[in-house]
């Protein structure tokens, strides 16, 4: 009855959303305070307090026909200028307002990009582990997602495997750093090498290959790691951004695409993206939120909130004998399953009211993801449950 | 460089947006007050004054983690319940909250529907003239749009032509009443006959065929015409709605889909739509606006504002000797070009600073569309320009 693709998507569904639902069901049974739900990347620290004041101020001062009205499909020019200025100041870029397209979140932005560049059969490389929705975004436009394995020590991409994966069908490479689900930040060296390989391959195949940089976690970095902006490494870099995490606005669906002048025929690309934004049915990013983020673009989220969780969780789990990749960004921790089948581990964890997401949902079995964007006291209390879980698997933790 | 489909879309572009840009350019040259821009369906009467107060109240009282946060991909349950209640009260439907899915406007909703039901090669019938974007929405999912000609006297659909167009590949029929671009409201008789033909064809081909009712103009009816809701005519009816016109919020991208229980396997359909909403990158309708429209769902737009324009324009143009279809809904007037090539007529009109949109953009040459959602004094002043235009074409208007 439904389209083949949707029937298939329904079968696969989202493992993250499924665990979120399991957590909710458990919470109804035993009380929410007793469930340690590490499933969903939903910020638990509110939007900056100034944001609501900004919205009220806009409602008082702006003409409602402008504030709630149609504008260019790519967004208000003043909003795009404010974002360009902010990026230029922070990263030394040279964006004008026209290089920015406002989008319905980063998910909307990525679909707009794939609609604009993919012909059926085109390949898009993603470094495993990766956000599972990338598969759908690429499939929406009949592209083929090609996973490339990580270096399992560092969870930086395996660059030799990457070089081998690029071929004449490769149209784009998705890069997501700070990374969901690992929390790893790609090093300067990694980025330079990726750029080097792509330049070489562009020449070899005589075609454009794009980096699509999915940057919702750009500002969520710890331990003195610097915020990075990827357009400096490679000419054909398209940046997708969302204010979901940096301003704790995931429900508002507000983000942007940045297209540097260095992109091949950048103006033509921008026209294509604008049309795709319209005909996919986004039409434009929500107007009131466009004006709001333009005024709040210098605001910062409560990084300390996540950092506290990160430290306690990483130390606690390591002490219990778990093997974790040390996260330097985002709000995810990537934990090696003590048994090969991480789905069994996920089920066992649930016995202790711990809701985790299986790594195979991110194209990388044998691991699980913890989204530690939850209340700090819960993280602390969860360590006792993790202790019991470690004991069940006979880990030699000092915490036992 | 870009995908074939986007290159093609760039060539076609939007005739409406193109005329809007021409109008803007003319306004810069001769002053905005001297341009009679009938190109864009952008409400010129502001959102109800209570709407901004509602937003402020929500900002004051709701937890920001809820108000700006993730919810189910189909929207907040309380918002969906408020919309279901409103429809049930007005139209005697029996929707529960789960029958409603909040969407990023009606354009987002229609793309979600087509993503959910279309396999490549499936046909979707649209009654000419129709909103040109339907072509892109259907093409996005490799469907084929099949236009069916109107009855040129009434601009109701030609039902015999419709019967002939339905075949085993037909998956859906788009209905848009009150109609963009004609302003015509489909009669009860038309709807009953369409439903009869579809029931017959469903049986003949042993498959589901859907009506997709695109209803952004549902509340914009005049001359005592009653608001209609199409689910009562036919079981497989999916309703797409937008608050763009009824609450003058076109920039906010907020609407919904309604799926009655009578739809075949309605629950499965709802699951499919929810997944499509997520993987197309909408994720969910903007959260603050969801909560806002739920509280403003009983508000009405300033219908009198449009009705005044409608009367003056219809009478004025008819008196000048133009042939117009009398609009009973929406805020469009459909005018017969005095020459066969309406694009020539559009160009001539521009000499008198009149910005019209060619009918061929709506799949129906020989006519032009006027969007009369502009200031009343402009409509009045424009009649002098129309008078000159009528004279140029030698029309025997009493106004001359």
Residue A305 contacts B, CB cutoff 8 Å:
no
Measured between beta carbons, the chain B residues lying within 8 angstroms of A280 are 111, 140, 280-281
The domains found in chain B, sorted by start residue, are 4-48+301-392 (3.90.1150.10), 49-296 (3.40.640.10)
**Each residue of A323-382: pLDDT tens digit?**
999 999 999 999 999 999 999 999 999 999 999 999 999 999 999 999 999 999 999 999
Question: Could you tell me what percent of chain A has a pLDDT over 70?
Answer: 98
Q: Would you tell me which residues 2-41 of chain B have a C-beta closer than 8 angstroms to some C-beta of chain A?
A: 2-7, 9-10, 13-14, 17, 40
CB contact under 8 A, A250 and B44: no
Contact A175, A209 (CB under 8 A): no
* Closest A-chain CA to B245: A69
**Each residue of A265-309: pLDDT tens digit?**
999 999 999 999 999 999 999 999 999 999 999 998 999 999 999
CB contact under 8 A, A249 and B68: yes
User: Does the pLDDT at position A23 exceed 60?
Assistant: yes
User: Does the pLDDT at position B398 exceed 60?
Assistant: no
Q: Would you tell me which residues 140-199 of chain A have a C-beta closer than 8 angstroms to some C-beta of chain B?
A: 140-141
Integer Cα distance of B108 and B375 in angstroms: 29
A140 to chain B, closest Cα gap in Å: 7
CB contact under 8 A, A108 and B283: yes
Measured between beta carbons, the chain B residues lying within 8 angstroms of A246 are none
Q: How far out from the chain centre does Cα B281 lie?
A: 22
Residue A400 banded pLDDT, cuts 50, 70, 90: very low
**Each residue of B306-364: pLDDT tens digit?**
999 999 999 999 999 999 999 999 999 999 999 999 999 999 999 999 999 999 999 99
Task: Please give the sequence-ordered ranges of beta strands (E in DSSP) within chain A, or none if there are none.
Answer: 36-37, 100-103, 123-127, 144-148, 170-175, 210-214, 237-242, 255-258, 324-325, 332-336, 354-355, 357-358, 367-371
Work out whether strand B357-358 and strand A144-148 pair parallel, antiparallel, or are unpaired: unpaired
**Each residue of B136-183: pLDDT tens digit?**
999 999 999 999 999 999 999 999 999 999 999 999 999 999 999 999
Residue B397 banded pLDDT, cuts 50, 70, 90: low
Contact B357, B363 (CB under 8 A): no
Measured between beta carbons, the chain A residues lying within 8 angstroms of B264 are 1
Question: What is the 3-state composition of chain B as percent helix, strand, coil, each rounded to the nearest 5?
Answer: 45, 15, 40
CB contact under 8 A, A253 and B284: yes
Q: Would you tell me which residues 340-399 of chain A have a C-beta closer than 8 angstroms to some C-beta of chain B?
A: none
B118 to chain A, closest Cα gap in Å: 5
B255 to chain A, closest Cα gap in Å: 12
Structure token pair of residue B162: 């419709």
The sign one gets for the Cα dihedral A307, A310, A312, A318 is: negative
Measured between beta carbons, the chain B residues lying within 8 angstroms of A209 are none
pLDDT, average across residues B279-286: 98
Interface test with A, best of B47, B275, B294, B373 (most A CBs within 10 A): B275
Q: Which of B42, B310, B189 is nearest to A66 (CA)?
A: B42
């Amino acid at each position: 009855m439904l389209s083949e693709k949707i029937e298939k998507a329904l079968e696969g569904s989202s493992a993250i959303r499924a665990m979120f639902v399991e957590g909710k069901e458990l919470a109804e049974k035993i009380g929410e305070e007793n469930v340690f739900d590490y499933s969903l990347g939903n910020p638990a620290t509110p939007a900056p307090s100034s944001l609501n004041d900004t919205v009220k101020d806009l409602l008082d001062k702006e003409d409602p026909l402008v504030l709630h009205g149609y504008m260019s499909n790519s967004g208000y020019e003043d909003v795009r200028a404010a974002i360009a200025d902010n990026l230029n100041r922070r990263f030394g870029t040279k964006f004008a307002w026209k290089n920015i397209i406002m989008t319905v979140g980063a998910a909307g932005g990525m679909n707009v990009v794939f609609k604009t560049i993919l012909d059926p059969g085109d390949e898009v490389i993603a470094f495993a582990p990766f956000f599972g929705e990338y598969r759908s975004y690429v499939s929406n436009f009949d592209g083929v997602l090609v996973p490339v394995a990580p270096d399992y020590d560092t969870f930086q991409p395996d660059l030799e495997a990457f070089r081998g994966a690029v071929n004449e069908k490769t149209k784009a490479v998705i890069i997501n750093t700070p990374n969901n689900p690992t929390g790893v930040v790609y090093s300067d060296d990694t980025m330079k090498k990726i750029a080097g390989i792509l330049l070489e391959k562009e020449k070899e195949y005589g075609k454009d290959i794009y980096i699509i940089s999915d940057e919702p976690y750009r500002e969520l970095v710890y331990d003195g790691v610097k915020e990075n902006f990827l357009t400096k490494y490679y000419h054909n870099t398209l940046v997708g951004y969302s204010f979901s995490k940096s301003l704790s606005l995931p429900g508002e669906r507000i983000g942007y695409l940045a297209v540097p002048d260095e992109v091949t025929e950048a103006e033509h690309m921008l026209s294509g993206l604008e049309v795709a934004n319209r005909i996919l049915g986004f039409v434009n990013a929500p107007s009131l939120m466009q004006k709001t983020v333009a005024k709040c673009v210098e605001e910062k989220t409560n990084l300390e909130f996540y950092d506290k969780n990160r430290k306690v969780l990483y130390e606690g789990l390591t002490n219990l004998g778990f093997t974790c990749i040390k996260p330097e960004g985002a709000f995810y921790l990537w934990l090696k399953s003590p048994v090969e089948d991480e789905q069994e581990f996920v089920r066992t964890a649930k016995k202790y009211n711990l809701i985790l997401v299986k790594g195979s949902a991110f194209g990388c079995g044998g691991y699980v993801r913890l989204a530690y964007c939850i209340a700090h006291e819960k993280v602390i209390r969860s360590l006792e449950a993790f202790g019991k879980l470690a004991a069940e698997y006979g880990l030699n933790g000092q915490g036992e």
